[in-house]
Amino acid sequence: MTNVRIPLLLIAVAFAGAAHAGAFDAIYDDADVASLQPRYERGWRSNYDNVFSKAFTDQERSRLAGVRFRMEPRVPGREPFGFAAGRDTVIASAASLRFLEDVALAHTWLERNGSSTQSLADYLLMLRYWDGRGGRPPKPLPALCIPSNAWDNRDVADRATRIFDTAAVFVLLHEYGHAFHRHNAAVPEEKSRAQEQEADRFALDLLARVGEVPLGVAVLFFTMAHLQEEVAGTHPVSPDRLLSVARHLSSAARSFERGLRPGAQVTMLAISLEVSQFALLLGDPDVQRLSARIGRTVTPDDLAPRPKGRHLAVPCGSRAATGQPFDGRLTGTFTGGTTPLDVDVVLSRDGEKVAGSYSFGAGFARLEGALQGSTLNYRWRMSPDGGAGRITLEGDEYRGSWGNGASASNGGTIVLRSNR
């Protein structure tokens, strides 16, 4: 930030790296947040005392004078957005801030390395539908194969830090907005949504007063929208709320431009557009059905960084492809009826047995089969569906068909090539 700093959050970037109310609480061990909690707390208190409280109106200063701030290691049942406010207390979770910081780094690293941020979206959707009976969910950075030295890249570190700082500041100011307006948590859903919008405006108004572009807001709402079923109880993310934020960002563009940042107005309008696009996607039933399909079929092995426009990459840590047929990454098209769709396939061959995964952007399917000469006969499953298929290597192309149920051909055709 230019004039808004969270200096002790910046110190936190030097470290290395619980499933629905319960499992999300354990994404991080106590050791993962123990050293961060005091740094996060001191950083926020410094910003609150030296930056934001100085920008309060007389009414804000009076109403918030008695509000205490408390940092907890985690807030059980609210992770990974463990932030809350009452009339006289604002509570924040160090584990939730760690989650935001990891997401900010993952998003930045993927973008800066030319990879698709859809793998991050898929990770978040996986968390949304995580079955806690299978154990704790994976942490963001190792799940997404972000290298342990990612913070060493100055460009990545600077951008990720600014995204995290402004996202964290927005979240905490949002909670102070609840305290300022004396919001009550025990209200009908419609009232709760109105309160969220009011707290959002409080946070954005304060950021505008100090001239800080809320760069992290887009990544924050990207995260919340993909996790919406898990945060809807305390921070309902609705299309109306996102559109309200987008309108506020757009109308405040000139205020942010005055904050000594050349080009800030363009940045604000870009952020506003991105948030409004999340609103449209969140309000589209077809998109939500697609998101559910992805979230229920994705696994950690599907989250390796992949080029933009592609749906799947070889899992991190996998053995190198042997160069044999039906082993490694394949790309091509398949048809469902008459519509051709891009598909990515990752296969692993062991003798005459072949197993793997594929995706065309609407979930992740698994296949297993056996080779007979140059032909692979396989079974596929993408819960709750399944079927059979047959692919033959013809020169440098793999051609075949797929089907539903017992059929290996009533679904459509497949054409693939090796992509090493």
- Residues 169 and 267 both lie in one domain: yes
* 12 — pLDDT class (breaks 50, 70, 90): very low
Is 122 contained in some domain?
Answer: yes
Residue 350 belongs to a domain: yes
Window from 8-22, 119-133, 167-181 with minimum mean pLDDT: 8-22
Is the pLDDT at 41 greater than 70? The verdict is yes
The answer on 287 and 332 residing in a single domain is no
391-416, pLDDT tens digit by residue?
999 999 999 999 999 999 999 999 99
281 and 349 housed in the same domain: no
Q: Span 126-136, mean pLDDT?
A: 87
On whether residue 229 sits in a domain, the answer given is yes
Q: Are residues 274 and 361 in the same domain?
A: no
Q: Given a cut of 60, is residue 151 above it in pLDDT?
A: yes
Total domains, the chain: 2
Residue 136 DSSP symbol: P
Lowest mean pLDDT among 18-32, 127-141, 396-410: 18-32
Q: Is 126 found in the same domain as 243? A: yes
Q: What is the largest CA-CA distance in the chain?
A: 81
The token pair at 127 is 């968390």
Clarify whether residues 358 and 277 are in a common domain: no
Residue where one domain finishes, among candidates 244, 272, 294: 294
Domain end marker among 239, 272, 294: 294
Rounded Cα–Cα distance for residues 420 and 416 (Å): 13
User: pLDDT for 358-390, tens place per residue?
Assistant: 999 999 999 999 999 999 999 999 989 999 999
Q: Report pLDDT for 172.
A: 97
CA distances from 17 to 34, 38, 217 (A): 12, 17, 23
Report the percent of the chain where pLDDT is more than 70. 90
Q: Is residue 230 part of a domain?
A: yes
Mean per-residue pLDDT of the chain: 88
Helical ranges in 283-341 per DSSP H: 285-297
Question: Which domain CATH number covers 334?
Answer: 2.40.160.90
Domain boundary among 278, 294, 310: 294
The answer to whether residue 2 scores a pLDDT higher than 50 is no
Share of the chain above pLDDT 90, in %: 70
Span 131-143, average pLDDT:
90
Mean pLDDT calculated for residue range 188-195: 87
Whether 31 and 124 share a structural domain = yes
HSE at residue 345, side-chain half, CA atoms within 13 A, is: 27
Residues 168 and 63 in one domain: yes
205 with 111, same domain: the answer is yes
Give a yes or no: residue 148 inside a domain.
Answer: yes
pLDDT confidence of residue 319: 86
User: In terms of residues, how long is the chain?
Assistant: 420
* Domain assignment of residue 203, given as a range: 7-294
Model pLDDT, residue 51: 95
Residue 322, domain member (yes or no): no
Of the listed ranges 140-154, 173-187, 242-256, 303-317, the one predicted with least confidence: 242-256
| 289 and 351 housed in the same domain | no
Based on the fold, state whether residues 205 and 349 are members of the same structural domain.
Answer: no
Residue 6 pLDDT greater than 70, yes or no: no
The answer as to whether 359 is a domain residue is yes
Cα–Cα nearest to 169, from 312, 2, 330, 294: 2
Residue 91: exposed, middle, or buried by beta-carbon count in 10 A (0-12, 13-18, 19+)? middle
Mean pLDDT of 330-357: 92
Question: Helix/strand/coil (H, E, C) string of 3-68?
Answer: CCCCHHHHHHHHCCCCCCCCCHHHCCCHHHHHCHHHHHHHHHHHHHHHHHHHHCCHHHHHHHCCCE
* Nearest-5° Cα angle at 197, 194 to 200: 150
Enumerate residues 6+ apart whose C-beta is below 8 A from 364.
294, 297, 298, 299, 302, 312, 357, 358, 382
Is residue 53 predicted with pLDDT exceeding 70?
yes
What residues form DSSP beta bridges with 345? 330, 358
Domain membership flag for residue 307: no
Do 57 and 121 share a domain, yes or no? yes
Instruction: Give, in order, the Cα–Cα distances in Å from 275 to each of 82, 202, 217, 220, 237.
Output: 22, 17, 8, 10, 11
- Mean pLDDT of all residues in 237-263: 79
